Structure 1
Amino acid sequence: MLTSFFSKSKPVIFLAVAFIMAVFYISANFPELINTLDLGVWGTKMGVFVCFILSITVLDFIAKKNDLTKRSAFKIVIFAVFSVSFLAILQNNQVILANLCILLALRRIISLKSRKDIPKKIFDATFWICIASLFYFWAILFLFVVFIGILVHAANYFKNWLIPLVAFCTVVALVTSFHILVYSEFYTWEKWFQEVSFDFSLYQNLQLLIPLSIIIGLGIWTLFYYFGIMQKASVNSRPTYILVLFTLALAILVAIFSPIKDGSELIFLFVPLSLIISNYFEGKKEKIFKEILLIGLVLMPILILFIS
């Protein structure tokens, strides 16, 4: 059974997931690559693909290190399936890079519960989120996750609340220096900011609407199960579950505020959703239903290709 196969985290599963991601990524970008001999374009796409694969590596590490899920492969499978279901994600370098930066930040925020190296972790998390905003401006909203992390894990020291400002100023200084040295000009607000758009007309496309509807439905369904797990969790573990939920809420805001609604903005939802949905699949009840559901999810990106 498919659920039994993915219930364990094995290198062969990771390789299989990475291979599937590679097939879809190459297929999505093949028309662009085949029509150019520019080594810069090829190098950029290869680098972004590496970051795409690194995303599931970091996601798996975060979940295992902080006991967000059991030792299963469901989370990386779900993230991969959701991501390759949207052509716009696979073709958008910026969102893939920004999402990896958010993952690296989330890793540091969640690890605050150890109460070790707190200033460094706060700085690192803020730094990565600011870097993410250079690729995708509205990723800056994830800074609220940093402050929630400080609130639940490190609110005792006032200096901890000032560290995000230091990290933000550090990124500003680095980016400004880079642009002056390379482009002989300042990095301005106009280059950083992306206007909000509430044009959802592209969501009428069935290739976007169908997977989005499935993901929303599954997300709402599994949220109830996740709330149950959170209520049963220990006092020390509960803040971590809250951080995941808060990350999901902010990811929804990022998607709403995104300048272009083509599906690429949804990638930020897939990390928290993969953790939430993974917990549902790891439960012992409804095995037959879960088997059918998982098969449907795995087939989803393939079936979407045949939708005109």
Structure 2
Amino acid sequence: MLTSFFSNSRPINFIIVAVYLTFFYVAANFSLFLSAPVGVVFKELGMLVVLVLSVFILNFISGRNELTGRNAYKSVLFAGFLCMFAAALKNNDVILANLFLLLSLRRILSLKSQREIVQKIFDATFWVGVASLFYFWSILFLFVVYFGILVHVGHRFKNWLVPLIALLTLLSIVTSADLLLTDTFYTFSDWYQSSSFNFDAYRQPILLIPAAFLFALTLWSSFFYMLIIQKASANSKSSLFLILLCTGVAITAGVLAPTKNGSELLFFFAPLAIVVTNYFQHMNDKWFKEILLLLIVLLPVLLLSIF
């Protein structure tokens, strides 16, 4: 059965998820691959590598910080959620921003080790800043950085100043690069993206169906996730709650996004995959779990076939 196959973390599981992701990525960008110049095709293949790398980093973060058990559920769930939205597979800026946010999350979660604190805070903030260069509203994940500081190392005042230094460092690098390449200063208008609250696109079945499914899944699994947090050890509670915070920040970033086509939900998929994986691990109804996982895997196939 599908749940039994992905209940272990083995190389074959990762290979299958990578192939699954590759199929839908090629399908979403098929016309581009046929007509674009060779340079553009190689760039798109690079984006595919970034997506596969994102799955690997998510799996590493989850295992290293004991956010889930040693299984491949989070990998296949992340891929399934992502492949439900073709626009997310086409938006290179969001794909890159998501990679940098995962790198930031990795450093934030590692603060609980109490080693190399300043370096980890600097790195986490720097990666969030880099992500915001590609997708402005990913800057909201600074709230996650400061939550990590509050929970793990908030007793030292200097730790609260490190994010400011990291952002100033990034600003100086970006400004210097802009001056060298374009002979102009990088300004706030170059960085900022205005919000749009036009959700008309979600009236279309191709977006409405997966969005409604994920909304119901989020509400259902989050309820059980909160129960899991309450029963978790003191060492694990902060990390598990931080993932829940990431989910909330990702939803906020999606609401404030400049375009509403499904790609703005990409930041939401990694934390949701961890939340749903915890639900899967504690679910006693084997057949319901089997049907749910099968639905997540096959829904992208149905959407691709129908629309």
> TM (normalized to structure 2)?
0.98
The structural deviation recorded for 1:284 is 4.8
Matched ranges for 1:70-85 at <5 A? 70-85=69-84
| Alignment partners' CA distance in 2, 1:38 and 1:10 | 35
Distance 1:184 1:43 in 2: 29
Gaps of 5+ in 2: none
C-alpha deviation, 1:307, in angstroms: 2.8
Corresponding position of 1:37: 37
**Aligned pairs for 1:1-308 within 5 A:** 1-39=1-39, 41-308=40-307
Matched residues in 1 for 2:283 and 2:201: separation?
A: 39
String of CA shifts for 1:164-189, please: whole Å, max 9, x gaps: 00000011011111111111111111
Q: 1:206, 1:307 within 8 Å by CA — same for their partners in 2?
A: no
- For residues 150 and 63 of structure 1, the distance between their equivalents in structure 2, rounded to whole angstroms, comes to 20
Does structure 1 conserve the Cα–Cα contact (< 8 Å) formed by 2:32 and 2:41? no
Instruction: Measure the CA separation in 1 of the matches of 2:240 and 2:198.
Output: 32
Give the match's secondary structure for 1:306: helix
Query: Is the 1:179–1:186 Cα contact (8 Å) retained in structure 2?
Result: yes
Deviations 1:139-171 (A, max 9, x none): 000001010000000011110000000000011
Q: Residues of 1 paired with 2:303 and 2:175: CA distance? A: 43
Identity of aligned residues (%): 49
CA distance in 1: counterparts of 2:77 and 2:306, whole angstroms: 21
- Name the amino acid aligned to 1:262: N
The one-letter code of the counterpart of 2:204 is N
**How many residue pairs are counted as aligned between the two chains?**
307
- Give the Cα separation in 2 of the matches to 1:88 and 1:295: 22
Give 4+ residue runs of structure 1 displaced > 4 Å after superposition.
none
In 2, distance between residues paired with 1:275 and 1:50? Answer: 22
CA distance in 2, matches of 1:118, 1:263: 36
- Give the residue type in structure 2 aligned to 1:258: A
**Alpha-carbon separation, structure 1, partners of 2:209 and 2:113:** 41
Q: What amino acid is the match of 1:42?
A: V
| Secondary structure of 1:199's aligned partner | coil
Q: 1 CA distance for matches of 2:70 and 2:255?
A: 33
Question: In structure 1, what residue type is equivalent to 2:265?
Answer: L
Paired with 1:266 and 1:94, the residues of 2 have a C-alpha distance of 13
Gaps of 5+ in 1: none
CA distance in 1, matches of 2:232, 2:36: 53
Asked whether the 8 Å contact 2:175–2:185 carries over to 1, the reply is yes
CA contact (8 A) 1:60 1:75 kept: yes
- What is the deviation of 1:72? 0.5
Aligned 8 A contact 2:222 2:275 in 1: yes
Q: Aligned-pair distance for 1:42?
A: 1.9
For the 8 Å contact 1:127–1:171, the answer to whether it is kept is: yes
TM-score, structure 1 normalization: 0.98
- State the distance in 2 between where 1:279 and 1:249 align: 17
Q: Distance in 1 between matches of 2:287 and 2:30?
A: 38
Q: Secondary structure at the match of 2:306?
A: coil
Taking only aligned residues, the RMSD between alpha carbons, in angstroms, comes to 0.9
